[in-house]
Copies of this chain bind each other. A is one copy, B any other.
Amino acid sequence: MSIPVPPVPTFPPSPLTLTSVPGLRAAGVRAGIKASGLPDVALLVADAPMACAGLFTQNHFAAAPVTVSKSHLLRSGGQVRAVIINSGNANACTGAQGDKDALEMCTRVAQALGCPVEQVLVCSTGVIGVKLPMDTVRAGIDLAVQELSSDVEAGRRFLSAIMTTDAFPKETGVQHNGATIAGVCKGAGMIEPNMATMLAFVATDWDLRTEQLKRSLPTIAATSFNAVHVDTHTSTNDTFLLLATKKVAPPTDWARHVEPVARRLSWLIARDGEGATKVTTIEVTGAATDEAARAIARRVASSALVRTALFGNDPNWGRFTSQVGNAPEVRTARSLSCVLQGIEVFRAGEPTDFDRAAAAAAMAVDDVKLELKLADGPGRAAVMTSDLGYRYVQVNAEYTT
């Protein structure tokens, strides 16, 4: 059968990447973990310990690098000199040997930099259930240490070395009153658990303490990486690190400038869901609480029925409203109104007489907005989801473990 392959979206290259943040050097090298020969070992190093807060997968099968990184963050009090990453192998479901290998990756970097081992974090992404080829990894780490550089190209090589099934690189950045906030990530909708993982690194040169980062991390993630709902899967290796190189005094509202960087990165992940043709932001307002709004939005976002309707540009209000109607968090469902791309398709529990052709045309874009309005209270939340098309089935049914 012939499946139309949606065109890979192109985005203007970001002028800012991780190495744009003063105090950071990076490298990305071809160690040989990936059979493709593509870059697969990445290293990020700060000239002095950074403040760092991390968000990690909640999966019971958290991979060895997640366990090691969490323990190092705890022991170092959130002081981090380096992050070592390999792609092509997730070092997950690899038993005691996996734990040993993840720790050795940190030790090797710490020795090269002359820092305590607990100041080095580790991430892995790629195939699950296969032990790391440690000779290859060691050689890759040594090469990466040699190639560390603060130029933009080194940042780009870092990014290419963390990618697996990504169809395009994901990076973005902003500048604010002389400070830089930049980030890169990898992940294609958490859609292939055996080659999956969301890894994201957002850095700034603001002089922020670990406690400040930790306090704001949940808020920043709530509207970005934790707002992407493509599948209900979270991977064994998911990691989001927020880093500060402490060069410039921060404004009090610093988190408000970091959030859009994280949100843009997570939008790019949703856009890269296999076969995705668009990202839909589902915004729930008027729920009893923010938590209720989030639960309702997630229920709509994770529905295969909703996602196929989005793929088909079908203004199928019945699918949106029946998912809201199924949510136990809803109190007064009959007050529900739905606005799809600015067009009210459902008002106070009944369909409106909207122009279906116009609504369908309005859905045929890269970035769709679906508003679900209740009258239960002040709760609001937004989540992002990618659509579900033929290519999703092809990739996920024909991809062999």
**A303 close to B233 (CB less than 8 A):** yes
Listed stretches A19-27, A138-146, A240-248, A320-328; interface member:
A320-328
Interface size of A as a range: 35 or more
Chain B proximity of A398: nearest CB distance (Å): 6
Q: Is A56 an interface residue (CB 8 A)?
A: no
Residue A381 at the chain B interface, CB threshold 8 Å? no
Bound: A4/B397 CA distance, A: 14
Q: Report chain B residues within 8 Å CB of A396.
A: 304-305, 308-309, 312
Interchain CB contact under 8 A, A356 and B1: no
Query: Could you say which of A9-17, A43-51, A58-66, A261-269 contacts chain B?
Result: A58-66
Q: CA A231 – CA B305 in complex, angstroms?
A: 7
**A166 in the interface (beta carbon within 8 A):** no
A194 pairs with B393, CB closer than 8 A: no
Query: A314: which of B4, B93, B323, B399 is its contact (CB, 8 Å)?
Result: B399
Q: Quick one: copies of this chain in the complex?
A: 2
Contact B232 A60 (CB under 8 A): no
Residues of chain B within 8 A (CB-CB) of A58 are 326
Residue of B nearest to A345 (CB): B401
- Indicate if the CB atoms of A325 and B236 lie closer than 8 Å: yes
Residues of chain B within 8 A of A191, CB atoms compared: 305
Q: Is A311 an interface residue (CB 8 A)?
A: yes
Complex contacts, A128 vs chain B, CB 8 Å: 318
Question: Once the chains bind, are A193 and B318 in contact (CB under 8 Å)?
Answer: yes
**Can you name the residue of chain B whose Cβ is closest to the Cβ of A230?**
B304
**What are 17 A-B residue pairs whose CB atoms fall within 8 Å in the complex?**
A1-B2, A61-B325, A193-B305, A193-B318, A194-B318, A194-B319, A231-B304, A232-B302, A233-B323, A236-B325, A304-B388, A304-B392, A308-B397, A309-B396, A312-B396, A356-B400, A356-B401
A→B interface (CB under 8 Å): 1-4, 58-61, 93-95, 128-129, 191-194, 231-236, 299, 302-305, 307-309, 311-312, 314-319, 321-327, 330, 333-334, 349-351, 356, 388-390, 392-394, 396-401
Task: Supply 15 further A-B pairs (C-beta < 8 A) apart from A60-B334, A233-B323, A304-B388.
Answer: A1-B1, A1-B4, A58-B326, A61-B333, A93-B321, A93-B349, A128-B318, A129-B318, A191-B305, A194-B316, A194-B319, A232-B323, A234-B322, A236-B322, A308-B396
